[in-house]
């Protein structure tokens, strides 16, 4: 800061040049004015203050003087000018403590902590400096008698410097607060983004796990279907081969039986012949020691000797004893072949039957009623037939298939069990549940129940019922699943795909 004019001995007024500031700051503050409030009940003080500071410039800005001559007037201009930089405040005005009340009003009522308060008093005894400084939030305390031009300049400059510093601090605080708000908002956005990302990752992981599980299940199901298809193809091939050769096998069987009948006739003839030869031999033998022995030609003796040797060679007694048993075993073998041919015809007929629209509920009622009459009436038959559509199926084969399933349920329920049958439809399939509370199936046998000729403790059973059932269901685009707990019961689930939804059939 440079002094451009030195005061004379008779005049303590001084004028100061602008403080050295950057050009940008000067341009920015060129039209700026600091509001200086003069509060005093003496007009001369107002005039003197304005005269002394008329050409005052600080930091490129001049002063704007606002005067008030009483405490109430001061409060009004303070309210109207919240951006005032400095106040020169007289302590004693209309009351001994009017200035102190205004200082308190500024800090407590208006919450203005930037306005620099400079107390001026002409009666220091009524307002001791020590008490004022300790009890009031003021920035400076001056006696009017000591406040020369130089000291007034210094006091105002110090106050303005403090005011500017507070503004800068407040500006920086506001900038920091704004940055903190933006930072908090950014942190909040990142937290939300991270939370959403975590949720998305979890959702993605669940989706991947779900899709992986479904894919794994689909692969497993595909493998099962492939095995079933291979088995179906094998059975189809056997059925095709059987259907082509059935007539020839029938002819061969009949021919074989006819040949065995002829053999049996030959056996009878040979037996009679041998018996006659044996009788002749006995007659001849009985006469060989008699007087008429010479009457038997020599050739007869030779033939008889030959017959004896032949009978001894072929062991005729053993042949006569075993031959009927051999013929009987051959007949049983033919009967076994005939039954096998019947079984082949049964499986071959699956592909030959035409499909027709069928009410499955009525079909199940017919089969279950027939079996309930056939088995012990103490078995409790429970039914729950749902509202299902008709199905285009091979009716006769499906009926026999359900007969085999329900028959097994009645046999498992024994004399006091429960057999339950229910149907339901959920597009695109009909589900039939056939359950029993009975003996159940041992775990070691559960995997064998669809194998041909597998049976367990069933007299005169062929073991083809479930094999036939599975083949029929596969031919009708259906599946069968069996779950069982040994000594508790069995549940059979049959599913038939209904390709085109038709009118549903009620109970």
Residue 130 belongs to some domain of the structure: yes
What pLDDT does 79 receive? 93
Residue 216 lies in a domain: no
Domain boundary residue, one of 98, 131, 147: 147
Residue that is last in its domain, among 147, 178, 206: 147
For the residues 399-423, what does the mean pLDDT come to? 84
Q: How many domains is the chain partitioned into structurally?
A: 2
CATH code for position 20: 3.40.50.2300
Q: Is 426 contained in some domain?
A: yes
User: What pLDDT shows up at residue 354?
Assistant: 85
C-alpha dist (Å) from residue 469 to 153, 362, 474:
116, 19, 9
Say which DSSP state 448 is in. T
Is there a domain that residue 304 lies in?
Answer: no
Closest CA to 428 of 360, 393, 477, 384: 477
Residue at token pair 């002819």: 251
pLDDT number for residue 452: 66
Q: Answer yes or no: is 286 within a domain.
A: no
pLDDT at 136 over 70: yes
- Per residue in 206-260, pLDDT tens? 888 888 888 888 888 877 876 666 455 545 545 543 444 455 455 555 655 655 6
Report the distance separating Cα 364 and Cα 366, nearest Å.
Answer: 5
Q: Is the pTM of this model over 0.85?
A: no
Spatial neighbors of 161 by CB under 8 A, at least 6 apart, are: 58
Q: What one-character DSSP code corresponds to residue 296?
A: S
pLDDT surpasses 80 at 261: no
Most confident stretch, 66-70, 91-95, 352-356, 394-398? 66-70
* Coil, strand or helix at 469: helix
Percent of the chain topping pLDDT 70 = 63
Per-residue 3-state assignment (H helix, E strand, C coil) for 137-167 = CCCEEEECCCCCHHHHHHHHHHHHHHHHHHH
Domain of residue 404, CATH code: 3.30.565.10
In a domain, 181, yes or no: no
- Looking at 147, 178, 200, the residue that finishes a domain is 147
> In whole angstroms, what separates CA 212 from the centre of its chain?
11
pLDDT at 431 over 70: yes
- What are residue 246's phi and psi, to 5 degrees? -60, -50
For residue 209, tell me if it sits in a domain.
Answer: no
Q: What is the DSSP string of 176-244?
A: HHHHHHHHHHHHHHHHHHHHHHHHHHHHHHHHHHHHHHHHHHHHHHHHHHHHHHHHHHHHHHHHHHHHH
Residue 400 has a pLDDT of: 86
Query: At which residue do the structure tokens 């007694």 appear?
Result: 317
Q: In which region does residue 495 sit, left (phi positive, over 0), alpha (psi from -120 to 50) or beta (all else)? A: beta
pLDDT for 6 equals 39
30 close to 71: Cβ distance less than 8 angstroms: no
pLDDT grade for 387, boundaries at 50, 70 and 90: very high
Residue range 470-489: average pLDDT? 84
* pLDDT tens sequence across 352-372: 678 899 999 999 999 888 888
Mean pLDDT of 379-406: 88
Do residues 437 and 417 lie in contact, with contact meaning Cβ atoms separated by under 8 Å? yes
- Note whether residue 50 is domain-resident: yes
pLDDT at 453 over 50: yes
**Structural domain of 436:** 356-505
**78 has pLDDT over 90:** yes
- CA separation for the pair 88, 146 (Å, rounded): 14
């Amino acid at each position: 800061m440079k002094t451009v004019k030195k005061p004379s001995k008779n005049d303590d007024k001084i004028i100061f040049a602008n403080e050295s500031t950057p050009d940008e700051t000067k341009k920015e503050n060129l039209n700026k004015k600091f509001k200086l409030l003069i509060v005093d009940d003496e007009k001369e003080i107002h005039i003197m203050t304005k005269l002394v500071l008329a050409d005052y410039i600080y930091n490129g800005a001049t002063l704007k003087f606002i005067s008030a001559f009483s405490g109430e007037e001061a409060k009004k201009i303070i309210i109207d000018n919240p951006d005032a930089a400095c106040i020169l405040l007289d302590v004693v005005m209309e009351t001994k403590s009017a200035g102190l009340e205004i200082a308190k009003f500024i800090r407590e009522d208006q919450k203005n902590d930037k306005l620099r308060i400079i107390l001026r008093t002409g009666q220091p005894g009524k307002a001791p400096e020590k008490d004022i400084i300790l009890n009031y939030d003021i920035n400076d305390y001056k006696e009017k008698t000591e406040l020369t031009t130089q000291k007034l300049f210094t006091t105002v400059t110090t106050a303005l410097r403090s005011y500017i510093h507070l503004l800068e601090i407040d500006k920086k605080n506001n900038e920091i607060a704004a940055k903190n708000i933006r930072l908090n908002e950014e942190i909040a956005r990142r937290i939300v983004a991270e939370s959403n990302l975590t949720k998305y990752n979890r959702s993605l992981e669940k989706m991947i796990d779900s899709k992986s599980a479904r894919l794994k299940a689909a692969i497993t199901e595909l493998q099962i279907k492939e095995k079933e298809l291979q088995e179906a193809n094998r059975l189809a091939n056997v059925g095709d081969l059987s259907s082509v050769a059935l007539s020839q096998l029938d002819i061969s069987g009949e021919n074989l039986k006819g040949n065995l009948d002829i053999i049996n006739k030959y056996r009878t003839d040979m037996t009679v012949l041998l018996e006659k030869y044996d009788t002749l031999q006995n007659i001849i033998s009985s006469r060989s020691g008699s007087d008429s022995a010479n009457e038997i030609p020599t050739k007869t003796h030779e033939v008889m000797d030959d017959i004896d040797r032949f009978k001894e060679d072929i062991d005729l007694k053993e042949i006569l004893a075993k031959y009927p048993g051999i013929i009987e075993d051959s007949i049983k073998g033919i009967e076994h072949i005939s039954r096998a041919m019947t079984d082949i015809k049964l499986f071959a007929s699956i592909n030959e039957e035409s499909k027709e629209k069928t009410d499955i509920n009525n079909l199940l009622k017919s089969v279950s009623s027939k079996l309930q009459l056939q088995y012990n009436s103490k078995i409790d038959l429970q039914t729950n037939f749902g509202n299902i559509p008709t199905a285009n199926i091979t009716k006769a084969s499906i009926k026999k298939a359900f007969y085999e399933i329900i028959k097994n349920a009645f046999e498992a329920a024994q004399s006091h069990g429960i057999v339950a049958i229910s149907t339901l439809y959920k597009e695109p399939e009909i589900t039939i549940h056939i359950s029993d509370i009975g003996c159940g199936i041992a775990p070691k046998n559960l995997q064998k129940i669809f194998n041909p000729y597998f049976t367990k403790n069933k007299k005169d059973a062929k073991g083809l019922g479930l094999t036939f059932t599975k083949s029929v269901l596969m031919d009708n685009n259906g599946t069968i699943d069996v779950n069982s707990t040994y000594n508790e019961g069995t549940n059979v689930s049959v599913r038939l795909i209904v390709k085109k939804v038709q009118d549903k059939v009620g109970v």
